[in-house]
Amino acid sequence: MKKTALTLTLAAAAAAALPSIAFAMSAQDAVNVIAQNHYVAPHDLQKQYGYWTAEAVSNDGVRATVLVNDANGSFTAVRAGAVGTTLPSVERVAQQVRAAGYSFVYDVELDDGFWQAKARQSVTNREKVEFVLHPVTLEVLSQVGRSGGTVNGQPVLSADQVLATLQNAGYTRVRGIEYEDGYWEAEATNTANLAVELRVDAVTGAVLREQLDD
């Protein structure tokens, strides 16, 4: 397989430095992979959509968003200005979403290393669905609307299920339920009668963050 500046698949020697082929990588594992692929000073490291992502700088001084696949350790570097050349064009991304059965595709953008798009199936079915796609392969990593969806192949709760889950947990006046950046978010009143903003795990419904609504 030919390696390029855009996408580098780890060689056997690099893979051998990781815990195993079927692993969930630690943050340090991901940093090691980034270094092995000649990127330094990684920061803002986080795991999302099955990838460790970070901002980093190549040995030739070019900034990029780097992705490390948590399942197999493969590495991708997404450099600014590469759309339409080494990265797919916006229209190519829109075509991929249309191929999934969505007639209306809009707000296509490359953000934090992933392609993101919004879509509606038809004039009669106007539910907004938010897509996240791999920057190079255009694999659909996340596809979520108010009726639910999937992230990394796992089913995601619908807005109605989130509402019921929060009410069962003792929250009242639940409102403003929106899917944002991989989480459900909502406003509610907690058991201490305080107005709060909530971040909810999209798969389990667990409240990950509660903060006062100012």
Would you list the domain boundaries of the chain? 7-79, 90-154, 157-212
Question: Residue 96: is its pLDDT beyond 90?
Answer: yes
Lowest mean pLDDT among 9-13, 33-37, 64-68, 100-104: 9-13
CA-based nearest residue to 203, from 172, 141, 161: 161
Mean pLDDT of 106-131: 94
pLDDT at 133: 97
Distance CA 162, CA 126 (A): 21
Question: Residue 141: is its pLDDT beyond 60?
Answer: yes
- Answer CATH for 157-212 from 3.40.710.10, 3.10.450.40, 1.10.10.1100, 3.40.50.1240: 3.10.450.40
pLDDT at 35: 97
Token couple for 44:
């803002």
Lowest mean pLDDT among 55-59, 122-126, 191-195, 204-208: 122-126
- Measured in whole angstroms, the distance separating CA 132 from the mean position of its chain's CA atoms is 6
Mean pLDDT of 94-113: 95
pLDDT at 23: 56
Angle, vertex CA 181, rays to CA 177 and CA 186, nearest 5: 20
pLDDT at 10: 34
Question: Residue 81: is its pLDDT beyond 50?
Answer: yes
Question: Residue 129: is its pLDDT beyond 90?
Answer: yes
